[in-house]
Amino acid sequence: MKKFQKKHHEDIIGLAYCVGSINLRPLKITKDEDFLDSFKINTLGAINTVKSNISFLANNNGSVLFFSTIAVQQGFTNHSIVSSSKGAIEGLTLSLAAEFAPKIKVNCIAPSLTDSKMSQKMVSNETIRKAIENMHPIPKIGNGEDFGDLASFLLSQKNNWITGQIFHIDGGRSTLRIKA
């Protein structure tokens, strides 16, 4: 990382922390390590990545983009591990947006379940996939293209006035209720 920073520090205008984990289980069978591991991956990793790039981002009036999950605001069963560490990401988004303004913009995208390598165990089962799709007013599993353009814009120099925002990209699941 330091070698890259030294060579490209003038080019660093945006930082996207897209790391995540899906560890779903009832609270009664969780261990402290489950929460600590999730916090290390999702939250401390984000903190340390930003810390090592603050000066470059500030010099370039850059942007930081984090990723959360709609489960933070929706309260899904068996999501206590991921929701607690991603909830910390949402708090970090707001805190850093205030701390770094006006030099660095900080935002967050909170998608619903997205078809990715990490989610393959769930979405590869057709019955589970259909059930999850039907929980969304726009009945599908999201993909990177659903929020890629927004992410690109938020990280670009075209974004000169958006900071401290959590964007729910979730087919309407976080805000709409449809007839079953």
The pLDDT value recorded for residue 163 is 98
pTM of the entire predicted model: 0.92
Does residue 169 surpass a pLDDT of 70? yes
The pLDDT value recorded for residue 49 is 96
Does residue 10 surpass a pLDDT of 80? no
* Confidence band for 81, pLDDT divided at 50, 70 and 90: very high
Does residue 180 surpass a pLDDT of 80? no
The pLDDT value recorded for residue 116 is 86
**Mean pLDDT along residues 13-18:** 96
Q: Which residues contact 3 (CB under 8 A, 6 or more apart)?
A: none
Does residue 2 surpass a pLDDT of 80? no
Does residue 7 surpass a pLDDT of 90? no
**Annotated domain spans of the chain:** 11-19+27-169
* Confidence band for 1, pLDDT divided at 50, 70 and 90: low
11-19+27-169 CATH choice from 3.40.50.970, 3.30.2320.80, 3.40.50.720, 1.10.287.1120: 3.40.50.720
Cα–Cα distance measured from residue 55 to residue 156, given in angstroms and rounded to the nearest whole number: 17
More confident residue, 114 or 121: 114
* Confidence band for 51, pLDDT divided at 50, 70 and 90: very high
Per-residue pLDDT tens over the stretch 85-113: 999 999 999 999 999 999 999 999 999 99
Q: Is 35 exposed, middle or buried (0-12, 13-18, 19+ CB in 10 A)?
A: middle
Can you spell out the DSSP letters for the chain?
-HHHHHHHGGG--EEEE---------GGG--HHHHHHHHIIIIIHHHHHHHTTHHHHHHTT-EEEEE--THHHHT-TT-HHHHHHHHHHHHHHHHHHHHHTTT-EEEEEEES-B-SGGGHHHHTSHHHHHHHHTTSSS-S-B-HHHHHHHHHHHHSTT--S--S-EEEESTTTTT-----
The pLDDT value recorded for residue 122 is 83
Query: What is the amino acid identity at position 46?
Result: A
The pLDDT value recorded for residue 63 is 98
